[in-house]
């Protein structure tokens, strides 16, 4: 399946041989092929090759699926994937462990401070604009354009993407949507979403997607409502496992199961809360002194002009169950500081605690958003398909490492990101070749491409000898210069506006 680009070289060479008279070019090309094949692979990631051989990848997120849910009730479909694929036990997601920041990190490989979706509720003081899941503001492209999601990079490289309800996937970003997408509608059933995904992957060769993203709201909703420790969560988890089984079955029915790489993960876990663990900010600081931007458990506080220090000093030692940070003092490990959308003061409650202004208003029994090193905040991760090893258990990875891994599997160059392919390459059935020094960090490469290239190179040199002896001519030499230049172009990186 990974021959992708090489055949187009072969076709071009054949044309050259048939036209004859291109002997020196053949020799040079044959010798260079091992070197250039990697680059061509990345440059023309798509349509010119046999579409059947193109790698396929489906990324599925069950919102709020905590890593340990698979072991608390029978989840045969998850376990079947693990037996035939890989599982990562501990996935460190990004701070803050909320839905929008983490879903955007999964498809960009960037920390929230860099991709710009720093919370589910944001305020940008420079633009005087607000972002809220409750409003249409999430459709304002501008919020999303500090990064480029993978579905667009695939399209730039000549491939196709399809998105079913993934956060941000129905927003026009840098002027583009996924080739296929569904406008967000929580009422569309999982089965209908799967139906569309299957349709897109099994479309005629010219239109089939290479990369799909699929999102489902559960078990997050139930986790908030019931609390993760409730036994009522058991049937919810069993239902999710059934949904995974449904997807697997549909992939099999469509003849896609053996060729599509399937990654099942989530944005975050869930922590149990209690009505006995409430912090009331009104007890410590007047509402007149600040705007409450993002909600519990990591509260973004925007003090009124000139009152930063006053608000901070009223809060800093107010309650032992919360930690109050000035933006500039946020711990380095959060990678959550360098963005104007992060508020001047951040309050983080301890695991299990809820921050409110007073006790009126909605209270939830489960929540997430806490420190991303807490086990309760971490998501599940399993994957299966031709790109992955079988029955392989890995201790840990970072959620940002998924992006370079996906780029590698899909053979598209990764944009600058905070992940590392090296951290996760042991998940792959074939170890990637070492990246050449001139390639950008994290760029996907294939170990067999140079081998194939060398082989074809030898064949072509032999072909050259046969043809050249018959047909010695130098009249094509000028075009040689042109071709070599074309072959040494850098990797595709143009106008991605990062
Ligand atoms: C910010 O926008 C709001 C309306 O959304 C407006 O009332 C307010 O005056 C603006 N503030 C500044 C500083 O421009
Ligand atoms: C959302 O999906 C439901 C179920 O398919 C459908 O009945 C409804 O019309 C959709 N809403 C919108 C706004 O498209
Ligand atoms: C709590 O806050 C709400 C507004 O969010 C307000 O209407 C209510 O009076 C407050 N209750 C108390 C006891 O202060
Ligand atoms: C994350 O990656 C971006 C893009 O390369 C870079 O600008 C940023 O500094 C990185 N962040 C960290 C913490 O390394
Ligand atoms: Zn979520």
- Express each pLDDT in 410-458 by its tens digit: 999 999 999 999 999 999 998 777 554 433 443 333 444 444 445 555 5
- Whether residue 354 sits in one domain with residue 233: no
Q: Which tens digits make up the pLDDT trace of 152-192?
A: 999 999 999 999 999 999 999 999 999 999 999 999 999 99
41, pLDDT greater than 60: no
Number of domains in the chain: 3
223 CA to centre of ligand 4 in angstroms: 32
- Whether residue 338 sits in one domain with residue 266: no
Q: Is residue 131 part of a domain?
A: no
- Whether residue 303 sits in one domain with residue 190: no
Q: Whose CA is nearest to atom 7 of ligand 3?
A: 360
User: Pairing mode, if any, of strands 271-272 and 366-367?
Assistant: antiparallel
99, pLDDT greater than 50: yes
Quickly state the pLDDT bin for 112 (edges 50, 70, 90): very high
Q: Which of 358, 359, 361, 362 to mutate to test the pocket of ligand 3 (most atoms within 8 A of CB)?
A: 358
Counting atoms of ligand 4 from 1, which one is nearest the CA of 498?
Answer: 4
Q: Which tens digits make up the pLDDT trace of 347-366?
A: 999 999 999 999 998 899 99
Does ligand 2 come within 6 angstroms of the Cβ of 187? Answer: yes
203, pLDDT greater than 90: yes
Does ligand 4 come within 6 angstroms of the Cβ of 335? Answer: yes
297 preceded by a cis bond (ω within 30 of 0): yes
154 CA to centre of ligand 5 in angstroms: 25
% the chain with pLDDT above 70: 77
- Among the three residues 347, 367, 387, which one is the final residue of a domain in this structure? 367
Question: Which letter does DSSP use for residue 402 in this model?
Answer: H
Q: What range defines the domain where residue 294 resides?
A: 278-367
- Whether residue 492 sits in one domain with residue 381: no
Does ligand 4 come within 6 angstroms of the Cβ of 440? Answer: no
Q: Is residue 319 part of a domain?
A: yes
Q: Which tens digits make up the pLDDT trace of 222-258?
A: 999 999 999 999 999 999 999 999 999 999 999 999 9
Q: In the annotation, is 99 catalytic?
A: yes
- Whether residue 265 sits in one domain with residue 288: no
Q: Which residue has the higher pLDDT, 93 or 46?
A: 93
Question: Which ligand has its closest atom nearest to the C-alpha of 305?
Answer: 1
Burial 367-400 (b: 16+ CB within 10 A, else e): bbbbbbeeebbbbbbbbbbebbbeebebeebbbb
- Any residues with CB less than 8 A from the CB of 489 and at least 6 apart, and which? 39, 43
- Whether residue 355 sits in one domain with residue 208: no
Counting atoms of ligand 4 from 1, which one is nearest the CA of 111?
Answer: 1
474, pLDDT greater than 60: no
Q: What is the pLDDT of residue 440?
A: 41
- Whether residue 332 sits in one domain with residue 197: no
* Strand extents, DSSP E, 250-409: 260-265, 271-272, 278-280, 290-294, 298-303, 322-326, 345-349, 354-356, 366-367, 381-384, 392-398
348 CA to centre of ligand 1 in angstroms: 28
343 CA to centre of ligand 4 in angstroms: 20
125 CA to centre of ligand 4 in angstroms: 23
Question: Which ligand has its closest atom nearest to the C-alpha of 125?
Answer: 1
Catalytic member of 99, 114, 265, 354: 99
- Any residues with CB less than 8 A from the CB of 482 and at least 6 apart, and which? none
CATH number of the domain that 79 lies in?
3.40.720.10
Under 8 Å between Cβ of 55 and 409:
yes
Quickly state the pLDDT bin for 387 (edges 50, 70, 90): very high
% the chain with pLDDT above 90: 74
Q: What is the pLDDT of residue 455?
A: 52
Q: What is the pLDDT of residue 18?
A: 34
Q: Is residue 406 part of a domain?
A: yes
Q: Is residue 419 part of a domain?
A: yes
Q: What is the mean pLDDT of residues 92-120?
A: 98
Q: Which residue has the higher pLDDT, 346 or 36?
A: 346
Q: How far apart are CA 107 and CA 87, in angstroms?
A: 19
Q: What is the mean pLDDT of residues 1-17?
A: 32
- Whether residue 95 sits in one domain with residue 15: no
Quickly state the pLDDT bin for 52 (edges 50, 70, 90): low
- How far apart, in Å, do the first and last CA atoms of the chain sit? 31
- Other residues' Cβ atoms within 10 Å of the Cβ of residue 203: 15
Does ligand 4 come within 6 angstroms of the Cβ of 418? Answer: yes
CATH number of the domain that 301 lies in?
3.30.1360.180
- Among the three residues 336, 352, 367, which one is the final residue of a domain in this structure? 367
Does ligand 2 come within 6 angstroms of the Cβ of 185? Answer: yes
- Whether residue 292 sits in one domain with residue 404: no
Does ligand 2 come within 6 angstroms of the Cβ of 189? Answer: no
User: Pairing mode, if any, of strands 260-265 and 56-62?
Assistant: parallel
Q: Is residue 231 part of a domain?
A: yes
Q: Is residue 233 part of a domain?
A: yes
Q: What is the pLDDT of residue 431?
A: 79
Q: How far apart are CA 58 and CA 214, in angstroms?
A: 7
Q: Is residue 438 part of a domain?
A: no
Q: Whose CA is nearest to atom 13 of ligand 3?
A: 358
Q: What is the mean pLDDT of residues 271-293?
A: 97
149, pLDDT greater than 60: yes
- Whether residue 416 sits in one domain with residue 342: no
Q: Whose CA is nearest to atom 14 of ligand 4?
A: 418
- Whether residue 210 sits in one domain with residue 93: yes
Q: Which tens digits make up the pLDDT trace of 391-408?
A: 999 999 999 999 999 999
Counting atoms of ligand 3 from 1, which one is nearest the CA of 360?
Answer: 1
Q: What is the pLDDT of residue 108?
A: 98
Q: What is the pLDDT of residue 432?
A: 78
- Whether residue 209 sits in one domain with residue 299: no
Q: Is residue 129 part of a domain?
A: no
Q: Which residue has the higher pLDDT, 304 or 30?
A: 304
- Any residues with CB less than 8 A from the CB of 286 and at least 6 apart, and which? none
Q: What is the mean pLDDT of residues 53-64?
A: 94
134, pLDDT greater than 60: yes
Q: What is the pLDDT of residue 481?
A: 34
Per the prediction, the chain carries an average pLDDT of 83
- Any residues with CB less than 8 A from the CB of 18 and at least 6 apart, and which? none
């Amino acid at each position: 399946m990974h021959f992708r680009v090489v055949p187009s070289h072969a076709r071009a060479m054949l044309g050259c041989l048939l036209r004859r008279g291109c002997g020196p070019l053949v020799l040079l090309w044959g010798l260079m092929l091992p070197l250039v094949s990697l680059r061509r692979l990345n440059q023309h990631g798509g349509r010119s090759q046999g579409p059947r051989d193109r790698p396929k990848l489906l990324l599925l997120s069950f919102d709020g699926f905590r890593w340990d849910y698979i072991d608390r009730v029978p989840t045969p479909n998850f376990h079947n994937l693990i037996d035939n694929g890989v599982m990562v036990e501990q996935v460190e997601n990004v701070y803050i462990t909320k839905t929008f920041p983490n879903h955007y990190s999964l498809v960009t490989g960037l920390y929230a401070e860099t991709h710009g979706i720093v919370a589910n509720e944001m305020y940008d003081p420079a633009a005087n604009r607000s972002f809220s899941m409750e409003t249409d503001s999430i459709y304002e492209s501008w919020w999303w354009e500090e990064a480029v999601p993978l579905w667009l990079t695939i399209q730039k490289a000549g491939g196709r993407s399809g998105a079913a309800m993934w956060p941000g996937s129905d927003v026009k970003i840098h002027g583009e949507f996924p080739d296929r997408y569904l406008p967000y509608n929580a009422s569309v059933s999982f089965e209908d979403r799967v139906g569309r995904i299957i349709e897109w992957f099994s479309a005629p060769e010219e239109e089939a997607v290479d990369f799909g993203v699929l999102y489902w709201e559960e078990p997050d909703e139930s986790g908030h409502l019931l609390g993760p420790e409730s036994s009522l969560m058991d049937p919810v988890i069993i239902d999710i496992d059934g949904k995974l089984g449904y997807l697997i079955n549909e992939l099999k029915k469509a003849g896609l199961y053996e060729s599509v790489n399937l990654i099942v993960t989530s944005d975050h876990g869930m922590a149990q809360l209690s009505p006995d663990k409430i912090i009331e900010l009104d007890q410590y600081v007047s509402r007149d002194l600040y705007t409450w931007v993002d909600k519990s458990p990591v509260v973004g506080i925007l003090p009124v002009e000139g009152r930063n220090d006053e608000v901070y000093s009223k809060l800093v030692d107010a309650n032992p169950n919360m930690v109050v940070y000035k933006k500039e003092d946020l711990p380095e490990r959060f990678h959550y500081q360098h963005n104007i959308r992060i508020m001047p003061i951040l309050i983080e409650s301890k695991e299990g605690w809820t921050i409110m202004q007073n006790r009126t208003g909605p209270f939830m029994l489960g929540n997430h958003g806490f420190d991303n090193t807490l086990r309760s905040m971490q998501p599940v991760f399993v994957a299966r398909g031709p790109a992955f090893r079988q029955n392989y258990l890995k201790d840990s990875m970072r959620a940002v490492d998924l992006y370079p891994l996906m780029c590698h599997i899909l053979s598209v160059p990764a944009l600058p990101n905070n992940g590392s392919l090296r951290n996760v390459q042991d998940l792959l059935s074939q170890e990637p070749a070492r990246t050449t020094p001139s390639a950008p960090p994290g760029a996907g490469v294939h170990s067999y491409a140079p081998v194939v290239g060398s082989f074809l190179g030898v064949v072509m040199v032999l072909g050259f000898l046969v043809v050249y002896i018959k047909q010695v001519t130098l009249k094509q030499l000028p075009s040689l210069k042109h071709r070599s230049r074309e072959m040494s172009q850098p990797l595709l990186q143009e106008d991605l506006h990062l």
